Structure 1
Amino acid sequence: MKIRFFSFLILFLVWVVLSGLFDPFHLLLGLFSSIFISLISADLLFAQTSKRFSSRIREGMQVPGYMVWLFYQVVLANIHILRLALSPKGFASIEPRIIRHKVAFRTDFAKYALANSITLTPGTVTVRIDGDHLLIHAISRKTAAGVGGEMEKRVSNVFERDNW
């Protein structure tokens, strides 16, 4: 119960700060949204109860850097997809495929973060998480070859490192 309340409190505070709206309608909307999200996601966020608070703070501090890197990767992938769609040579290289990618993450949250990062990147969609494998749809050989690699290392550095 403490975990759910803590996640609710954080979500509601973020809502208030980011919305900047303090009228009753928006405060109630933020309240209900925060309650709903904390009820369905607290177990995912705090599944590893053995982690120290300092590790969670470190993770939280590394997430913005990862988000900036991910945004850059999304821009690069958009350019690649644009080339595939607009050039005859690129259009000819569209070869959709489903690949099965093994990950060595210990936590479900790291798998979830990688799967969402892959899906956010144009040209790839995570279809399913099956144990230690991700089932991924890729639009071309280049996008299929880029699955895992640097993105997997960065997710591991943020969410899988042991306590410092």
Structure 2
Amino acid sequence: MRYLVSLGLLLITFWLVLSGHYTVLLTSLGAASVALVLWIASRMSVADHEMVPLRITHRMPLYALWLTKEVFRSAAQVSIRVLRGPQSLNPGLRPVRHGQTSSMGETILANSITLTPGTLSVRVDAEHIDVHSVDEAFIDELETGRFAARVRQLDTGA
């Protein structure tokens, strides 16, 4: 039940922030949408610790700030390479060991890699994430494990 309540609060907040319109009609439609999603989630029995990861909620703001910094840093690096011309690009596709202990950690890491300009997570398995990059230097940086360590810290608290 606590997961349904948490999911409901998350959906309401998300809807209100993204909507920006607070008329009676739109607010009622938003509430009805949230109620429908909660009913479906309840009937499917999918509201659990993986769908609503309460254990990482308090660590998420710091991770989001760190990821935002990485996105801007990477965007600057990609911009510089693009402005220098095609000769400064060295695209590549390589598997990178992720070392995550949960599927949530794997998912967060793969999505974080994709959010970072210049890199794209192509495939995830139990050991590796296949990463495509506009420059292999970005993949080299991922292989240092800094990204994976941040995600592991978010996921496990360690």
Indicate the SS of the match to 1:134: strand
How many pairs does the alignment contain? 151
Asked if residue 116 in structure 1 is aligned to residue 111 in structure 2, the reply is yes
| CA shift digits 1:131-154 (9 cap, x unpaired) | 222111111121111215221111
Contact 1:123/1:138, CA 8 A, preserved across alignment: yes
Indicate the SS of the match to 1:95: coil
Query: Partner residue of 1:131?
Result: 126
CA RMSD between the two structures: 3.0
| CA shift digits 1:48-84 (9 cap, x unpaired) | 99x9x7xx1xx21211111111111111111111111
Indicate the SS of the match to 1:126: strand
| TM-score under structure 1 length normalisation | 0.76
Contact 1:128/1:135, CA 8 A, preserved across alignment: yes
How high is the sequence identity, in percent, across the aligned residues? 22
Contact 2:82/2:88, CA 8 A, preserved across alignment: no
Task: Please list every run of 5 or more consecutive structure 2 residues that lacks an aligned counterpart in the other structure.
Answer: none
Query: Partner residue of 2:74?
Result: 77
Task: Please list every run of 5 or more consecutive structure 1 residues that lacks an aligned counterpart in the other structure.
Answer: none
Contact 2:109/2:148, CA 8 A, preserved across alignment: yes
Instruction: Give the whole-Å Cα distance in 2 for the aligned partners of 1:117 and 1:151.
Output: 8
Query: Partner residue of 2:147?
Result: 151
CA 160–4 in structure 1, closer or farther in 2 if over 3 Å, else same: closer
Indicate the SS of the match to 2:100: coil
Instruction: Give the whole-Å Cα distance in 1 for the aligned partners of 2:101 and 2:36.
Output: 28
Contact 2:100/2:148, CA 8 A, preserved across alignment: no
CA 48–4 in structure 1, closer or farther in 2 if over 3 Å, else same: closer
Asked if residue 47 in structure 1 is aligned to residue 42 in structure 2, the reply is no
Work out which of the residue numbers 97, 100, 121 in structure 2 matches 1:102. 97
